[in-house]
Structure 1
Amino acid sequence: MNILLVKLSSIGDVVHTLPSLAALRNRYPEAHITWVVEEESLDIIQGNPKIDRILVSGRKRWARRLKEGRDIGETLGEIRRFLRELRDRPYDVVIDFMGLLKSAILVFASRGRQKLGYDSMQEMSALFYNEKIPEDMGKHAVDRYLDFARHLGAQPAEPEFYLYIPEESRIRAEALLRDGGVDPESPFAVLSPMSYAGETRLWEDDRFAALGDRIRQELGWPTVITGHESGGRIGRIAAAMGTKALNLENRTTLKELAHLYHRAAVVVTPDSGPMHIAAAVGTPVVALFGASDPARTGPYGKIHTVIRADLPCSPCFKKTCDTRQCMKDISVNMVLDAVRRYVGPKEIR
């Protein structure tokens, strides 16, 4: 049996799909499973033993090159090779976990026999499938994706998140901590202030700085700040702190980040890809929610804490807002009180 999974991005959504991969592998242990993913999220599934082959789409890079009119011949050659690889196996089942036009086109192009997707018609994607299941937006994304596995006969119990982290990534992550004066064997807190899904998910810089200082002063924990391409935000947060924080902006791969989070006592973050990585490796998350809905995309599991202001307009799912009041109403004291719950050995939490 040949199975093709189409989940291109984003980081958090790819993490959410890992339990479905595990459920399908358990149901069909002899199947050949291929996963199509975009370059930015590759690290999440690279090396996963439940996957037989990974096809990497350079869609964003290809689109950027073509728009700029450079390397056109090389780009078109890469696209042709990708499509040839997409079609070189006779897929029995192709599953579109995204339900968007960009993913549905790949489902159709794969020439698979059973093209499975949601019936929601988002971006007209359902036109490309020959079999559909209901999309229950009242469920968390993890459980919603698992509906595909159930439809195909799987009976998943506890969702299984598996992130392969090679030894060199573990060594590198711990070296970054030690070089910055943070003992990976002792409790430390991670602040991950970035979210790239809109300004409505962002907490105030001065509050992240104040939180970092109070964690250090009142709990005695070092603070580590992580993120990529923050546009100066992370530097401003670190500079505003009265205590020293280890700034690891742009210094980790996703696999190194996963191990760093695994070592942390707690990760404080808005709704973001790193939030889901931290939850997947079993580290408690204090998640700050405003415009998005934690029932759909909150950190998965019972050990986490979600903080939200619970305004009548939230969740609005907007990417911009004149006030961002739902995030401004989250105080430093509220977040620090949540962090305090995780003081103590990890194994007894």
Structure 2
Amino acid sequence: AGRLAYFRALPALTQTLCRLRRWLQREPYDLVLDLHASFRSGLLGLTNPGGTRVGFADAKELNPLFQHRRIEVPDSVVHAVDKNMLFCNHLCCPPGKSDFQLYSSEQDRDRVAAFLQGHRLRDDDVLVYVNPAARWRTKFWGGGRWAELADRLIGEAGLRVVFAGSAQDRDYIAGVSERMSRTPIVAAGELSLTETVALLQRSAVYAGLDSGPMHMAAMAGVPVVALFGPTNPERVGPYGVEHRLVRNEGLVCLGCRKRHCGVPRCMEGIEVDQVYRAVLSLVDLRRSAAGGGKG
């Protein structure tokens, strides 16, 4: 049976490496696949006392030096999903179609339905899932803009909005909702991971930043409106075709990957109306696909 182990990253990296090495000495692996392609992930691979380490030939931070085998990446492969699927070729597995899905249980869906009913959400209401937070500060768009967007979606378009995120995002999202004149649904820190999947599946559209929940939405089959600045959507954007990417086009610094920036014009230059229109375009698509229903 498979096993999943969690280990802390920095600042406890030294303790993590020692603990991981002790664990792997007891249960070594025959093969280490390094998809993260960083110096740190290369070090983690070294903690496995035996087995073959496999990584990308074009990896950053001296990572290829840690690998026994290095996978060449064709110039035609850009997106991280397609790049990671190259490991299938190395393992002699047919890569097939990169068609990923997330699932929720009936219990998850019932829990989410009860939560939404508690906020007077009707079955025919169109729900927009909004996640305004991310790990990098340079990805943030500004709480006031999210508040304005949600007010317009509720007041002008007649949609319902749910703000979701982790427990760590709760205070930030509370600050966003306090700026609003309308009343959103706030689910930050209220749901488990699988219940979050169920909430995404109930939503007509996802709107948010380049973050983990954005990828979850795409995998759950939800059309995504994603705001991009310091990262490159061609490489890490929502996977699939039924999505809208919003950027402050024309800046030479787009995709800089900086986590700190004194003047983040890439995000500050994105207008609320751009995001609003992108959300409505996807809502209209969902309605058309449903034969004129509300999604």
TM range (shorter): 0.7 to 0.9
**Aligned amino acid, residue 143 of structure 1:** D
1:328 aligned to 265, 268, 292, which one? 268
Once the two structures are superposed, the pairs formed by residues 216-235 of structure 1 within 5 Å of their partners are 216-228=154-166, 229-230=168-169, 232-235=171-174
Match of 1:178 in 2: 117
CA contact (8 A) 1:94 1:112 kept: no
Gaps of 5+ in 2: 291-295
**CA gap 1:342/1:121 in 2 versus in 1, 3 angstroms:** closer
- Name the CA distance, whole Å, in 2 between partners of 1:65 and 1:221: 49
**CA gap 1:347/1:136 in 2 versus in 1, 3 angstroms:** farther
Deviation at 1:63, TM superposition (A): 2.3
3-state SS of paired residue (1:115): strand
Match of 1:11 in 2: none
Q: Relative to structure 2, which stretch is displaced further, 162-171 or 141-150? A: 162-171
Q: Given the alignment of the two structures, is residue 120 of structure 1 paired with residue 55 of structure 2, yes or no? A: no
Deviation at 1:288, TM superposition (A): 0.4
Residue deviations 1:192-211 (CA, integer Å, cap 9, x gap): 00010x22211121111111
**CA gap 1:155/1:236 in 2 versus in 1, 3 angstroms:** same
CA contact (8 A) 1:55 1:86 kept: no
Deviation at 1:62, TM superposition (A): 9.2
**Aligned amino acid, residue 348 of structure 1:** A
3-state SS of paired residue (1:186): coil
Residue deviations 1:253-275 (CA, integer Å, cap 9, x gap): 22211211111011110111111
Residue deviations 1:294-338 (CA, integer Å, cap 9, x gap): 001111100010010111221211112222111111111111111
Match of 1:340 in 2: 280
- Name the CA distance, whole Å, in 2 between partners of 1:65 and 1:114: 23
CA contact (8 A) 1:185 1:263 kept: no
Match of 1:12 in 2: none
Q: TM-score, normalised by structure 1?
A: 0.74
Identity of aligned residues (%): 33
**Aligned amino acid, residue 227 of structure 1:** G
Deviation at 1:146, TM superposition (A): 0.8
Deviation at 1:180, TM superposition (A): 2.0
CA contact (8 A) 2:170 2:189 kept: no
Match of 1:20 in 2: none
RMSD over equivalenced CA pairs, Å: 2.7
1:270 aligned to 209, 214, 237, which one? 209
Q: Given the alignment of the two structures, is residue 57 of structure 1 paired with residue 13 of structure 2, yes or no? A: no
Q: Relative to structure 2, which stretch is displaced further, 319-328 or 82-91? A: 82-91
1:304 aligned to 243, 248, 251, which one? 243
- Name the CA distance, whole Å, in 2 between partners of 1:102 and 1:192: 29
CA contact (8 A) 2:205 2:283 kept: no
**CA gap 1:113/1:304 in 2 versus in 1, 3 angstroms:** same
3-state SS of paired residue (1:195): coil
Deviation at 1:105, TM superposition (A): 3.0
CA contact (8 A) 1:174 1:184 kept: no
Match of 1:146 in 2: 85
Q: TM-score, normalised by structure 2?
A: 0.86
3-state SS of paired residue (2:104): coil
Q: Relative to structure 2, which stretch is displaced further, 130-139 or 246-255? A: 130-139
3-state SS of paired residue (1:256): helix
Q: Relative to structure 2, which stretch is displaced further, 120-129 or 256-265? A: 120-129
- Name the CA distance, whole Å, in 1 between partners of 2:278 and 2:180: 20
Match of 2:293 in 1: none
3-state SS of paired residue (1:223): strand
CA contact (8 A) 1:184 1:263 kept: no
Match of 1:69 in 2: none
Once the two structures are superposed, the pairs formed by residues 1-349 of structure 1 within 5 Å of their partners are 52-60=1-9, 63=12, 80=19, 83=21, 85-87=23-25, 91-120=29-58, 122-135=60-73, 139-183=78-122, 186-196=125-135, 198-228=136-166, 229-230=168-169, 232-310=171-249, 311-344=251-284, 345=286, 348=289
Deviation at 1:278, TM superposition (A): 0.5
Deviation at 1:64, TM superposition (A): 8.8
**CA gap 1:170/1:84 in 2 versus in 1, 3 angstroms:** farther
3-state SS of paired residue (2:238): coil
CA contact (8 A) 1:117 1:132 kept: yes
Deviation at 1:101, TM superposition (A): 3.2
CA contact (8 A) 2:103 2:220 kept: no
Deviation at 1:226, TM superposition (A): 0.8
**CA gap 1:98/1:64 in 2 versus in 1, 3 angstroms:** closer
Deviation at 1:174, TM superposition (A): 2.3
Gaps of 5+ in 1: 1-51, 67-74
Aligned residues: 286
Deviation at 1:157, TM superposition (A): 2.8
